[in-house]
Structure 1
Amino acid sequence: MKSSIVIADDHPLMLKGMMNYLSSLGYNIVGSATDGSTAYNLIVKLKPKIAILDIRMPHKTGLEIAQDCKLNALDTKIILITFDKREDVYKKAKEHNIYGYILKEFAVEEIETCIENVICDRPYFSKELVPNLEKTYTNTDYTSLNKLTKTEIKILKQIANNKTSIEIADDLNVSPRTVDKHRSNIVNKLKLHGIHNGLFIWASQNKDIF
């Protein structure tokens, strides 16, 4: 049985369709809800690996649920599904440690890929969104790359290829803690502080230059 999932959407047809689709792929749907408060209570009670949430629901929005999960140190990883392409909403999602952000019109095409990335601790944002909303990462001062060591460049390349810290540690024959320390140093040198998954997004957007 694959990872446990809670799904919430205030549109019954969307909710039922997503549940049936993911169940057919072997995922363990442990709970569902049509409003945000019920969804959050299910997350607290059932502690699923992943929660797939409509961004706009009665009582609590998907963003508010994500914020509450972060404040209460809940381990459930949040994937938001939305029609909203606004940059301010997208940035708020990233601030609340959202692991996935998918547009509803591409949900069926992208949800399985998104889930599999999230299970491996890799963030996934809809390919239709990132090119338009990540411009801040493509305007970087690339001279900052000169400050990186050879090992940091190796790690940056692996991050760009969706490798986790554990996978990178195995490849470099070092501990995951050492890799995390290098990641922190890279973030400092490239000035990517304060934005969740900023290093991964920067590496993905700029992998052709290193």
Structure 2
Amino acid sequence: MDEKIRVVIVDDHQVVLEGFMARLEREPEIDVVATASNGVEAIEVVKSTLPDVVLMDVSMPIMNGIESTQVLKEELPNIRVLMLTMHDNREYIMKVMQAGAVGYMLKEISAEKMVQAIKTVYQGSTYFCESVTQTLFSQEITPVVAKSNPLSRREESVLRLVAQGCSSKKIAQMLDISYRTVETHRQNIKHKLDLHSTAELAKYALENGLSS
């Protein structure tokens, strides 16, 4: 990787913040460019530093991580937000997805997995730590809105794998089709559903029972 991944860390607990910084400062491919201790600070810091990835705590004073993520995604739609939390219940996960975050991981995650998560979302995929994935995909999901499904079976298969955080290269390998074909399917899915990002695709899959 020629350029370092520029990261902002947001957490209201100083000890946790320093712990995350210590983990990431050992990584030659990652540069922690700033920190913040609440959602309002996070918005200001992210606007001034324009990082590649934001590690965002969910529960914070003044403005929580979900609210600040919504603001950031409206004003800086290309920002990649990875949500950090102690909670792995489905309600929290869905709120995070709806806010526009592209990943969700528990604070107890190992340093190795945290780095993997940052690299994954930086490269354009979604990331959910293992326990969160189990929470999401082990439960029956009732569609929020009953709609006729415009997707072909192959497009549904691609969408399911996108929702699980798989890259186009990985999907091509799993479905035994070319990378270009996967990219074509992804563009067709976005067009049919009027969606514009990987996070929106994953959210649609979760809400319409196409995630498992």
Q: TM-score, normalised by structure 1?
A: 0.73
Correspondent of 1:126 among 126, 129, 142? 129
Correspondent of 1:184 among 178, 181, 190? 190
Looking at structure 1, the residues matched to 51 and 100 of structure 2 have their Cα atoms a distance apart, in angstroms, of: 16
Aligned to 2:39: 36
Cα gap change, 1:45 to 1:161, in 2 (>3 Å)? closer
Cα gap change, 1:87 to 1:174, in 2 (>3 Å)? closer
Percent identity between matched residues is 21
Aligned to 2:153: 148
The letter of the residue matching 1:94 is M
Q: Answer whether contact 1:53 1:62 (CA < 8 A) is retained.
A: yes
DSSP-derived class of the 1:51 partner: strand
The letter of the residue matching 1:197 is A
Instruction: Number of aligned residue pairs: give it.
Output: 191
Cα gap change, 1:172 to 1:196, in 2 (>3 Å)? closer
Looking at structure 1, the residues matched to 86 and 73 of structure 2 have their Cα atoms a distance apart, in angstroms, of: 23
Cα gap change, 1:24 to 1:37, in 2 (>3 Å)? same
Larger radius of gyration: 1
The letter of the residue matching 1:163 is S
Aligned to 2:23: 21
Q: TM-score, normalised by structure 2?
A: 0.73
Looking at structure 2, the residues matched to 181 and 196 of structure 1 have their Cα atoms a distance apart, in angstroms, of: 11
The alignment status of 1:8 with 2:43, answered yes or no, reads no
DSSP-derived class of the 1:78 partner: strand
Aligned to 2:178: 171
* C-alpha RMSD of the superposition: 3.5
Looking at structure 2, the residues matched to 155 and 80 of structure 1 have their Cα atoms a distance apart, in angstroms, of: 25
Looking at structure 2, the residues matched to 195 and 157 of structure 1 have their Cα atoms a distance apart, in angstroms, of: 13
The alignment status of 1:48 with 2:28, answered yes or no, reads no
Query: Structure 1 residues 43-52 or 33-42, which shifts more?
Result: 33-42
How big is the shift at 1:137? 5.2
Per-residue Cα deviation, 1:56-106 (whole angstroms, up to 9, x for no partner): 112211111111012224321111111123322211101112111111122
The letter of the residue matching 2:73 is K
Q: Answer whether contact 1:4 1:50 (CA < 8 A) is retained.
A: yes
> Please, which runs of 5 or more residues in structure 2 have no aligned partner?
144-148
DSSP-derived class of the 2:130 partner: coil
Looking at structure 1, the residues matched to 135 and 160 of structure 2 have their Cα atoms a distance apart, in angstroms, of: 23
